[in-house]
Chain A
Amino acid sequence: KAGVTQTPRYLIKTRGQQVTLSCSPISGHRSVSWYQQTPGQGLQFLFEYFSETQRNKGNFPGRFSGRQFSNSRSEMNVSTLELGDSALYLCASQFLAGGNYEQYFGPGTRLTVT
């Protein structure tokens, strides 16, 4: 079974630009979560999508948005980039097993904002 893929793996953008990151979950998984990791911080939850609907949202400004398509692929968008948005962005493909979600992470997209 293919794992979670994220594209692109590395990205350099300029302050003020916008960026779109993509995540393809494991086949059959309908839930995708996005996380941000900045230096010295733990993984911070951005949002979670299930069957094309946003189910949960973390404490991030409205510049961070996402969506999910009918094939469960998900995108996240960051508009008006700031230097502080430089981070590793991970997506996790998840399914419910025994009352708990099992998460499988992708390799991440490393975003650098200059």
Chain B
Amino acid sequence: ILNVEQSPQSLHVQEGDSTNFTCSFPSSNFYALHWYRWETAKSPEALFVMTLNGDEKKKGRISATLNTKEGYSYLYIKGSQPEDSATYLCAFTTGANNLFFGTGTRLTVIP
């Protein structure tokens, strides 16, 4: 079992604030790192798949960076909105399509 850690566990921010959180994963046997957004009562939704060291991905106000050498990825949200409230999951894979998930960062954006 591979250890994937996410921090912080939960986070409250004011609407309009920018925020970021971290995913740490083993730096050996890296194949890909996935980010998901999981809103309450919905299914996890894929945000990004990142494979190369130094990768940066962006979708609207959300972006992510990847450092495979040191084993971490950051997810950034610029100008948080209440609809960004969700749990953000990262998942690491060594190549086989079984993902090792972190426990997530629960983000609450206060209007």
Alpha-carbon distance A104/B100, docked complex (angstroms): 16
Residues in A with CB closer than 8 Å to B104 are 42
Tell me if A28 counts as interface (CB < 8 A to partner B).
no
Scoring A residues 69 to 100 as 1 if CB is less than 8 Å from chain B, else 0, what string do you get?
00000000000000000000010001000011
Residues in B with CB closer than 8 Å to A103 are 34, 46, 99
Given A56-B98, A94-B97, A101-B97, A40–B103 Cβ distance below 8 Å?
Answer: yes
Residues in B with CB closer than 8 Å to A41 are 103
Alpha-carbon distance A41/B6, docked complex (angstroms): 12
State whether A33 touches B97 (Cβ < 8 A).
yes
Tell me if B101 counts as interface (CB < 8 A to partner A).
yes
Number of residues on chain B facing chain A (CB within 8 A):
22
State whether A48 touches B98 (Cβ < 8 A).
yes
Q: Which residue of B lies closest to A56 (CB)?
A: B98
Tell me if A45 counts as interface (CB < 8 A to partner B).
yes
What DSSP secondary structure best describes chain A's contact surface? strand
- Number of A-B residue pairs, CB cutoff 8 Å, is 57
State whether B89 touches A58 (Cβ < 8 A).
no
What DSSP secondary structure best describes chain B's contact surface? loop
Given A105-B43, A107-B43, A100–B32 Cβ distance below 8 Å?
Answer: yes
- Shortest Cβ gap from A99 to chain B (Å): 7
Residues in A with CB closer than 8 Å to B102 are 42
Most B C-beta atoms less than 10 A away, residue of A35, A44, A56, A103: A103
Given A41-B103, A42-B4, A108-B43, A56–B96 Cβ distance below 8 Å?
Answer: yes
Residues in A with CB closer than 8 Å to B91 are 43
Alpha-carbon distance A41/B32, docked complex (angstroms): 21
State whether B100 touches A45 (Cβ < 8 A).
yes
Residues in chain A within 8 A of chain B (CB atoms): 3-4, 31, 33, 35, 40-45, 48, 55-56, 58-59, 90, 94, 99-108
Q: List 16 A-B contacts (CB under 8 A).
A: A35-B101, A40-B103, A42-B4, A42-B103, A43-B99, A45-B98, A45-B100, A55-B96, A58-B98, A59-B1, A90-B44, A99-B51, A100-B32, A103-B34, A103-B46, A104-B46
